[in-house]
């Protein structure tokens, strides 16, 4: 148990460090992430450029610091949006059952029937590359997962006696749903949200890498890796720095989510023991 | 037998709308795509002129003057005859292209599946046996890391070390069977992580059950109980995951296929998107949906083969 919570603390520390350095990038980055100096291209680490420079002489450290800003923001915003849709639909499907449930379940099966990137690629193909199509694609892609989980939980919860009690005292459906059932789902939803954000940061980076997401010269981890592919032989750091940032970000989110899940479980056990 | 039939009917009743839904989405993609196919047909170079009558005649010939529902029905009918249309740009039959690319993606999927089962399930069992001890801690960190690594990044790193520096494996392409090795490892890595975690938690769930307590009280060791009793029962969610993983690679290994220059289904879709070849994207979406449905049916058949509870219809009482 102690080991687990130690891991969670480490994860939260890593996560905070990455988020803060991304937020504070304009303050702490030594150079402009877009300013190139062709005379100093592909330099190794030095006192002036702590991580060296890329193929057109941009400072790698500054670009790495800036690199997560857009994709993290995009992933969080799009995941939050899909959480909103998925949560509402799942809530209704689980609570009302019957026809509502059938329609929503079939819809969510359709969207889960397409593997993650298929839908993203199709939407990017239709609407063209860019932030808008990525947000739409992520929402289309992620809402079904949320709705499915929320539906399952609500179906379990609505059998509990407190719901019968609320109905007896005359509480309306919406009141029961939003004031009494929804808060019970909060912890679980946080866990799913976190893992989904971690996945979507990688998805956004993959799309940018393929040239279907954010567009160069924006300092973005996916684009940086795509740019540096040819130069991996001379300067492996160009690939390693943005990649490791992504791994640490995603790892720390996943570990924090694990910790949260464990904590929720133990809390549930304690309540059951009472 | 009746329980079995009922089960199959129930399953197909859920899967049919999924396939129809995916097909509607694929069709809508073609309809919503920018550009007018009639114009593109009559005026491929952008400098020829045509009269209104010519336009209407061509539209009628292509069936595009009919209401959208009729167009959809026609399209579906064509599909059922194995005709996915032709690419806007290369004018090659999409069906032919796909049938050449599917076996390549299938081989990739099969190989990465083998890695996932071997290591994913293997590590999961190991972690469950040594719960809260050293192997569990180390492996659970490894599997969480594995599922956090972006595929395209690890692909570049693997190519650099294994192919360029140590010259052990080919950098890209599939001229030799060894060419499948790095891409399938790349694809397997995150799924090994997911699979190991899933196997672990699924076995630990089973361990809480009464039959395990009985087996333990009869004096079997923890390892024997996990291997012989809990393991088989714990496999159900793992097999579900493996099914979606398989479907995902068959239809969606676009990133890895692109990095390794493998002419599979996924890289075909990326090429199509880059050249705005909507019919190909359409066919790709449809293909992914079809794979999902087929894999789902196969997973269910597998459950029925291994799990007497499902075979006898007990799950639905």
Give pLDDT tens digits for A42-90. Answer: 777 877 777 888 877 788 888 889 988 888 999 999 999 999 999 999 9
The nearest CA of chain B is from the CA of A20 a distance in Å of: 20
The percentage of chain A sitting over the pLDDT mark of 70, rounded to a whole number, equals: 95
DSSP reduced 3-state for B280: helix
The pTM of the full predicted model, rounded to 2 decimals, is 0.86
pLDDT at res. B312? 66
- The predicted model gives A26-48 an average pLDDT of 79
Contacts of B157 in chain A (CB under 8 A): 239-240, 243
**DSSP class of residue A234?**
T
In-domain check, residue A221? yes
Q: Is A109 on the interface with B (CB under 8 A)?
A: yes
Residue A254 has pLDDT above 80, yes or no: yes
Q: Which whole-number Å values give the CA distances from B17 to A102, A200, B23, B285, in the listed order? A: 11, 27, 10, 15
Specify the pLDDT at position A274: 42
**One CATH from 1.10.3720.10, 3.40.50.1820, 1.10.1060.10, 3.40.50.11240 for B94-312:** 1.10.3720.10
* Position A44 in a domain: no
- Residue span of the structural domain in which A162 resides: 7-28+52-273
Residues of B in contact with A257 (CB under 8 A): none
Q: Mark yes or no for CB contact A225/B153 under 8 Å.
A: yes
Residue spans of chain B under pLDDT 70: 1-3, 35-37, 40-47, 88-89, 252, 310-317
Are the beta carbons of B150 and A114 separated by less than 8 Å?
Answer: no
**DSSP secondary structure code for residue B136 in this structure:** H
The pLDDT value given to residue A268: 60
Q: Which residue of A has its CA nearest to B158?
A: A232
For residue A181 the two structure tokens come to 């059932």
What integer best gives the mean pLDDT of chain A? 84
Inform me whether the C-beta atom of residue B157 falls under 8 Å from chain A C-beta atoms.
Answer: yes
H/E segment holding residue B275: none
Residue A230 inside a domain? The answer is: yes
Nearest to B140 by CA among B198, B100, B99: B198
The position carrying tokens 């469950």 is B128
Task: Chain A: give the shortest CA distance to residue B35, in Å.
Answer: 11
Question: For residue A269, what pLDDT band results from cuts at 50, 70 and 90?
Answer: low
Tell me if A115 is assigned to some domain: yes
Does residue A89 sit within a domain? yes
Q: CB of A170 within 8 A of CB of A87? A: no
Answer for the pair B266, B247: CB distance below 8 angstroms, yes or no: no
Question: How far, CA to CA in Å, does B1 sit from each of A242, B5, B10, B22, B308?
Answer: 57, 6, 14, 31, 13
pLDDT value at residue A237: 87
A166 phi and psi, to 5 degrees?
Answer: -65, -40
CATH at A59? 1.10.3720.10
**What is the rounded distance in angstroms from the CA atom of residue A143 to the CA atom of residue A137?**
10
Closest partner CB to B285 (pick from A122, A210, A233): A122
- The CA-to-CA distance between both ends of chain A, in Å, stands at 21
In a domain, A252, yes or no: yes
Round to whole Å and give the CA distance between A130 and A124.
Answer: 8
- What is the rounded distance in angstroms from the CA atom of residue B310 to the CA atom of residue B313? 5
Using CB atoms, pick whichever of A114, A121, A225 lies closest to residue B22: A114
Q: Each residue of B180-202: b (16+ CB within 10 Å) or e?
A: bbbbbbbbbbbbbbbbbbbbbbb
Provide the pLDDT for residue B31.
77
Q: Is A171 left (phi over 0), alpha (psi -120 to 50) or beta?
A: beta
End-to-end CA distance of chain B: 15
Q: What is the number of CB-based contacts under 8 A between chain A and chain B?
A: 135
Domain-embedded: residue A64: yes
H-type helices in B43-172, by residue range? 52-61, 68-80, 94-115, 122-129, 134-148, 151-158
pLDDT score for A83 = 93
Highest mean pLDDT out of A39-53, A145-159, A246-260: A246-260
Q: How far is A113 from chain B (nearest CA, A)?
A: 6
Largest Cα–Cα separation, chain B: 89
Give pLDDT, residue A52: 80
Cβ burial, residue B286 (10 Å; 0-12/13-18/19+): buried
Look at residue A174 and tell me if it is in a domain. Answer: yes
Q: Give me the phi and psi of A169, to 5 degrees please.
A: -80, 5
Taking the CA of residue A38 and the nearest CA in chain B, the distance in Å comes to: 25
pLDDT tens-digit profile of A219-246? 889 898 988 888 888 888 888 989 999 9
Q: What is the predicted pLDDT for the residue at B35?
A: 67
Nearest chain B CA: its distance from A210 CA (Å): 7
* Interface membership of A269 toward B (CB under 8 Å): no
Is some CB atom of chain A closer than 8 A to the CB atom of B152?
Answer: yes
Contact A239 B153 (CB under 8 A): yes
Contacts of B33 in chain A (CB under 8 A): 125-126
pLDDT of residue A16: 92
> Which pLDDT score, from 0 to 100, does residue B129 have?
85
Integer CA distances (angstroms), A84 to A75, A80, A140, A193, in order: 14, 6, 12, 11
DSSP 3-state of B176: coil
Alpha helices, H only, chain A: 2-23, 25-28, 60-67, 69-96, 98-112, 116-127, 131-157, 161-168, 173-175, 182-209, 221-228, 237-273
Q: What is the pLDDT of residues A80-133, one digit of tens each?
A: 999 999 999 999 998 888 888 888 888 888 887 776 777 787 787 778 778 888
Percent of chain A with pLDDT over 90: 19
Residue of B nearest to A242 (CA): B153
Q: Do A206 and B281 touch (CB under 8 A)?
A: no
pLDDT band (50, 70, 90) for residue A273: very low
| Optimal mutation site among A75, A106, A122, A250, interface B, most CBs of chain B within 10 A | A122
Q: DSSP characters for A82-144?
A: HHHHHHHHHHHHHHH-HHHHHHHHHHHHHHHTS-HHHHHHHHHHHH-SSHHHHHHHHHHHHHH
What token pair was written down for B211?
A: 């039959």
Residue of B18, B87, B246, B300 to mutate when probing chain A, most A C-beta within 10 A: B18
The answer to whether B276 contacts A125, with C-beta atoms less than 8 Å apart, is yes
What's the domain count of chain A?
Answer: 1
């Amino acid at each position: 148990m102690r080991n687990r919570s130690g891991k969670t603390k480490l994860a939260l520390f890593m996560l905070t460090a990455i988020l803060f350095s991304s937020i504070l990038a304009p303050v702490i980055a030594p150079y402009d992430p877009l300013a190139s100096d062709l005379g100093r291209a592909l330099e190794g680490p030095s006192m002036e450029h702590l991580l060296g420079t890329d193929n057109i002489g941009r400072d790698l450290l500054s670009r790495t610091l800036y690199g997560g800003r857009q994709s993290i923001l995009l992933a969080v915003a799009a995941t939050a949006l899909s959480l909103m849709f998925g949560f509402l639909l799942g809530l209704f499907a689980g609570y009302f059952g019957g026809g509502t449930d059938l329609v929503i379940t079939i819809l969510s099966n359709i969207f889960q029937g397409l593997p993650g990137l298929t839908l993203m690629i199709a939407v990017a193909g239709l609407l063209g590359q860019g932030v808008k199509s990525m947000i739409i694609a992520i929402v289309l892609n992620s809402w079904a997962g949320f709705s499915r989980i929320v539906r399952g939980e609500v179906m379990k919860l609505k059998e509990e006696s407190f719901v019968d009690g609320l109905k007896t005292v005359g509480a309306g459906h919406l009141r029961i749903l939003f004031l009494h059932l929804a808060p019970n789902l909060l912890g679980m939803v946080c866990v799913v949200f976190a893992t989904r954000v971690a996945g979507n940061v990688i998805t956004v980076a993959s799309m940018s890498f393929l040239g279907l997401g954010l567009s160069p010269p924006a300092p973005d981890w996916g684009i940086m890796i795509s740019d540096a592919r040819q130069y991996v032989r001379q300067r492996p750091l160009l690939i390693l720095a943005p990649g490791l940032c992504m791994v640490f970000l995603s790892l720390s989110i996943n570990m924090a989510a694990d910790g949260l899940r464990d904590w929720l479980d133990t809390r549930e056990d304690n309540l059951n023991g009472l | 037998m009746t329980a079995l039939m009922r089960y199959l009917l129930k399953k197909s009743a859920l899967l049919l709308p999924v396939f129809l839904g995916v097909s509607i989405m694929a069709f809508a993609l073609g309809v919503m795509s920018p550009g007018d196919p009639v114009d593109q047909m009559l005026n491929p170079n952008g400098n020829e002129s045509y009269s209104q009558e010519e336009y209407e005649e061509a539209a009628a010939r292509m069936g595009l003057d009919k209401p959208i529902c009729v167009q959809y029905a026609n399209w579906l009918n064509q599909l059922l005859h194995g005709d996915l249309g032709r690419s806007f740009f290369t004018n090659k039959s999409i069906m032919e292209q796909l049938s050449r690319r599917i076996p390549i993606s299938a081989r990739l999927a099969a190989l990465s599946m083998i890695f996932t089962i071997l290591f994913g399930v293997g590590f999961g069992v190991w972690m469950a046996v040594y719960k809260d001890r050293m192997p569990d801690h180390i492996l659970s960190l490894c599997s969480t890391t594995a599922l956090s690594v972006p595929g395209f990044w690890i692909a570049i790193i693997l190519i650099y070390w294994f192919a360029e520096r140590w010259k052990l494996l080919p950098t890209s392409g599939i001229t030799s069977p060894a060419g499948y090795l790095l891409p399938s490892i790349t694809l397997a890595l995150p799924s090994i992580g997911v699979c190991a975690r899933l196997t672990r938690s699924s076995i630990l769930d089973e361990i809480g059950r009464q039959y395990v307590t009985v087996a333990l009280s009869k004096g079997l060791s923890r390892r024997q109980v996990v291997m012989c009793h809990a393991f088989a029962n714990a496999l159900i969610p793992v097999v579900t995951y493996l099914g979606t993983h398989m479907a995902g690679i068959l239809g969606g290994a676009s990133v890895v296929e692109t990095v390794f220059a493998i002419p599979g289904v996924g890289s075909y879709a990326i090429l199509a998107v880059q050249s705005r070849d909507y019919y190909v994207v359409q066919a790709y979406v449809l293909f992914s949906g079809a794979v999902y449905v087929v894999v789902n049916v196969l997973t269910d058949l597998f459950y029925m083969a291994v799990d007497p509870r499902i075979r006898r219809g007990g799950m639905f009482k």
